[in-house]
A and B are shown apart, each in its own frame.
Chain A
Amino acid sequence: MIRQQAMRVLLRRSEGALLRLIGTVQRRGFEVTDIATHAQDHDTWLVMLKVESNRELRLLERQVEKLYDVVELIEEAPRFEHPALAAYA
């Protein structure tokens, strides 16, 4: 059964980090339906993804956690004033 699931990733702002993250998501059998990035500070991005798959999100999360550019996965949805980002909460 195809399910839509959300994932929030704190990502180091290093060369290729975004490509590596999105590539991993797609290659592991998940379709990215929405994506937003938000610069946290000089060194990190918060990347918010909505993904669809019939696979379990936790299996993807384990693959994503292995990426060296990933600082951590964020469980709690952050609060955003901006309406475009609020959709990922």
Chain B
Amino acid sequence: MSDHTDMTKTGAEWLIHALEREGVDTLFGYPGGAIMPVYDALVGSSLKHILVRHEQGAALAAVGYARASGRVGVCMATSGPGATNLVTGIADAFMDSVPLVAITGQVPSHLMGTDAFQEVDVFGITLPIVKHSFIVRRAEDVCAIIREAFAIATEGRPGPVLIDLPKDVANARAFEKPSTREAKRPLPPKLDAIQKARALIREAKRPVLYVGGGVGMANAEAALKRFHEITRIPAVCTLKGLGALDARDRLVLGMLGMHGNPAANFAVQEADLLIVIGARFDDRATGKLDTFAPRAKVVHLDADTAEIDKLRHADVALVGDLVKSLEALAETTTIADWQTRCQWLKSQHQWRYDAPGEDVYAPLLLKQLSELGGDNLIISCDVGQHQMWVAQHCSFARIANHLTSGGLGTMGFGLPAAIGAKLARPDATVVCVSGDGSIMMNIQELATLYRYGIAVKIIVLDNAGLGMVRQWQELFFNQRFSEVDLSDNPDFAELARAFRIPASTVEQRDAVLPALQEMLSAEGSRLLHVRIDAKRNVWPLVPPGKSNADMIEEKTT
């Protein structure tokens, strides 16, 4: 029996063993009662565990790790409040299709369903926001469930998987039950769909590529670039598609949608064919849906069948492998008049950086940051006005360099996601661009930066309020300002220094460039607190419920 005993481990030990076998090097978490056996098994393992200061930070750091690297992010928490604190991060991963494995401790099986201390039905709570989930009932199943979870998280359209591990199962000894499960490879597109799509592209006089974040998930950026070089079809990007194509290309018109570039929106409105690549007709991209690209036929390329016809009818759908679909459709086009028209649109809607005044102009700051950081810069955003300014004024060498909470719009995303990104890609320059509202939502992770010496730079654009909400109240709620004032914010530079992060404050426009240069060249983490005009709005914009054709620009006096 003794040699048999050597082959057994506890459920917790199998869990750590299985994570190591998946190639996991880093996981983010916070210990507590029900997950203590797993933390015990962690001692001496090859896994680097990052102890965050709030479980939401763990989940969002794992999301940042996954998005920056293309690998599965892993986070871990105890039962009850530990588990519920992961929920926002899991929802974020669900909405943005991020491969995430979230592991929660659970009270022992015999206490489940008895309202035990720190018991919560996290399996039930997360049902609508996971791709799949498991409660591990037997220690012998741990390895197979981990294998299954990693396969599910990555195959097809990626997403989060939850594994709830009762404490008695974590403590029980078992033999391993091996698994041969592999992630399913995407299927090639159907030949008849390719032929129909080719015919539509040949017939089109005003085609537009509508590029989304699915391109990055499918590792199809190189294929898209080749497709664009061959076809020279004018392209627009969604928030999450930014970085897929070179923004300097004269036929790349920028972001479409609510705060997009007018050139992108107007080209889409004039299009007679939309080639939708890994995008999903999100309402922030389309504006009023029944007025979106009203004369366009649609060729929709996606990994997820459920996106086809969900919001807009597709004349042709190519479901499956994006790389193969793009390769199959890459043919030269003869659309010179349309290309000229789109170049003209782009030339007419260049961003301007000559706003009057001496105060810091955030769009200019972000453009300077983007230019200084170059191709090796990852920007992790929070949510609000600064997020839209980043999308408008920064350019990205690849999709994985722009971490932004697109679907869920999670304030508090920026700092933990930046931590995950820096750990995933230590050679990259990682900057968290946040606002004075968002930064306070996960400010405790400054302690994580300090503890592990993670060289994340933070820029807090401080307009002493909830700028995007204030902007909407100004424009759409008759200037009835309600609960948007944050003028009693702490001194952010002092706050950072309290966490032993060096920090400085900038208030004048001419001080920005040297401050950025100093911040980027410094070793280690830095926080740059930037005071900006509280009344500055994000322009242009499509009012809620309106057509993208009805973009409004800033009124100049």
Which A residues form the contact surface with B (CB < 8 A)? 15-16, 19-20, 23-24, 27, 56, 58-59, 62-63, 65-68
Neighbouring B residues of A19 by C-beta, 8 Å: 124, 127
Given contacts A15-B135, A68-B132, A20 and B127 within 8 Å (CB-CB): yes
Cβ-defined contact, A27 with B306, below 8 A: no
| A48 CB, min distance to chain B CBs, angstroms | 21
Interface membership of B490, Cβ < 8 A: no
Cβ-defined contact, B306 with A63, below 8 A: yes
Interface residues of B in 274-316 (CB under 8 A from A): 304-306, 308-310
Cβ-defined contact, A66 with B304, below 8 A: yes
Cβ-defined contact, A62 with B127, below 8 A: no
| A16 CA to B162 CA, complexed, in Å | 13
Given contacts A23-B128, A27-B128, A16 and B308 within 8 Å (CB-CB): no
Cβ-defined contact, A16 with B123, below 8 A: yes
Given contacts A23-B128, A68-B132, A68-B152, A59 and B309 within 8 Å (CB-CB): yes
Cβ-defined contact, B127 with A66, below 8 A: no
Interface residues of B in 84-135 (CB under 8 A from A): 123-124, 127-128, 131-135
| A59 CA to B309 CA, complexed, in Å | 8
| A68 CA to B160 CA, complexed, in Å | 13
Given contacts A59-B310, A68-B152, A16 and B305 within 8 Å (CB-CB): no
| A59 CA to B281 CA, complexed, in Å | 15
| B101 CB, min distance to chain A CBs, angstroms | 14
Considering only CB atoms, which chain B residue lies closest to A66 in the complex?
B306
| A75 CB, min distance to chain B CBs, angstroms | 17
Cβ-defined contact, A23 with B306, below 8 A: no
Given contacts A27-B128, A59-B309, A59-B310, A16 and B133 within 8 Å (CB-CB): yes
Neighbouring A residues of B131 by C-beta, 8 Å: 68
Main secondary structure of the interface of B (DSSP, over half): mixed
Neighbouring B residues of A56 by C-beta, 8 Å: 309
Give 15 A-B contacts (CB < 8 Å), ordered by A residue. Answer: A15-B123, A16-B123, A16-B133, A19-B124, A23-B127, A27-B128, A58-B309, A59-B306, A59-B310, A62-B305, A62-B306, A63-B306, A65-B305, A65-B306, A66-B306
Neighbouring A residues of B310 by C-beta, 8 Å: 59
B519-547 interface mask toward A, CB cutoff 8 Å, 1 = contact, 0 = none? Answer: 00000000000000000000000000000
Neighbouring B residues of A66 by C-beta, 8 Å: 304-306
| A5 CA to B153 CA, complexed, in Å | 32
| B309 CB, min distance to chain A CBs, angstroms | 7
| A56 CA to B10 CA, complexed, in Å | 48
| A24 CB, min distance to chain B CBs, angstroms | 8
Considering only CB atoms, which chain A residue lies closest to B156 in the complex?
A66
Neighbouring B residues of A20 by C-beta, 8 Å: 127
Main secondary structure of the interface of A (DSSP, over half): helix
| B249 CB, min distance to chain A CBs, angstroms | 35
Cβ-defined contact, A62 with B308, below 8 A: yes
| B94 CB, min distance to chain A CBs, angstroms | 12
Considering only CB atoms, which chain B residue lies closest to A64 in the complex?
B306
Neighbouring A residues of B308 by C-beta, 8 Å: 62
| A16 CA to B130 CA, complexed, in Å | 12
| A64 CA to B23 CA, complexed, in Å | 31
Cβ-defined contact, B127 with A16, below 8 A: yes
Cβ-defined contact, A16 with B124, below 8 A: yes
| A58 CA to B317 CA, complexed, in Å | 15
| A79 CA to B235 CA, complexed, in Å | 53
Neighbouring B residues of A68 by C-beta, 8 Å: 131-132, 152
Neighbouring B residues of A27 by C-beta, 8 Å: 128
Neighbouring A residues of B304 by C-beta, 8 Å: 66
| A62 CA to B132 CA, complexed, in Å | 16
Interface residues of B in 447-462 (CB under 8 A from A): none
Neighbouring A residues of B134 by C-beta, 8 Å: 15
Neighbouring B residues of A65 by C-beta, 8 Å: 305-306
Neighbouring A residues of B306 by C-beta, 8 Å: 59, 62-63, 65-66
| A19 CA to B130 CA, complexed, in Å | 13
| A15 CA to B131 CA, complexed, in Å | 14
| A81 CA to B131 CA, complexed, in Å | 37
| A68 CA to B130 CA, complexed, in Å | 11
| A66 CA to B308 CA, complexed, in Å | 13
Considering only CB atoms, which chain B residue lies closest to A68 in the complex?
B132
| A43 CB, min distance to chain B CBs, angstroms | 16
B135-153 interface mask toward A, CB cutoff 8 Å, 1 = contact, 0 = none? Answer: 1010000000000000010
| B260 CB, min distance to chain A CBs, angstroms | 27
| Nearest 7 CB-CB pairings of A with B | A62-B306, A68-B132, A63-B306, A62-B305, A23-B127, A15-B135, A20-B127
Neighbouring A residues of B124 by C-beta, 8 Å: 16, 19
Neighbouring B residues of A62 by C-beta, 8 Å: 305-306, 308
Considering only CB atoms, which chain A residue lies closest to B157 in the complex?
A66
| B491 CB, min distance to chain A CBs, angstroms | 44
Neighbouring B residues of A58 by C-beta, 8 Å: 309
| A54 CA to B416 CA, complexed, in Å | 41
| A10 CA to B134 CA, complexed, in Å | 19
| A65 CA to B306 CA, complexed, in Å | 9
| A3 CB, min distance to chain B CBs, angstroms | 17
| A12 CB, min distance to chain B CBs, angstroms | 11
| A23 CB, min distance to chain B CBs, angstroms | 5
| A20 CA to B304 CA, complexed, in Å | 19
Neighbouring B residues of A24 by C-beta, 8 Å: 128
Considering only CB atoms, which chain A residue lies closest to B148 in the complex?
A68
Neighbouring A residues of B133 by C-beta, 8 Å: 16
Considering only CB atoms, which chain A residue lies closest to B130 in the complex?
A20
| B78 CB, min distance to chain A CBs, angstroms | 21
| A7 CA to B137 CA, complexed, in Å | 31
Neighbouring A residues of B309 by C-beta, 8 Å: 56, 58-59
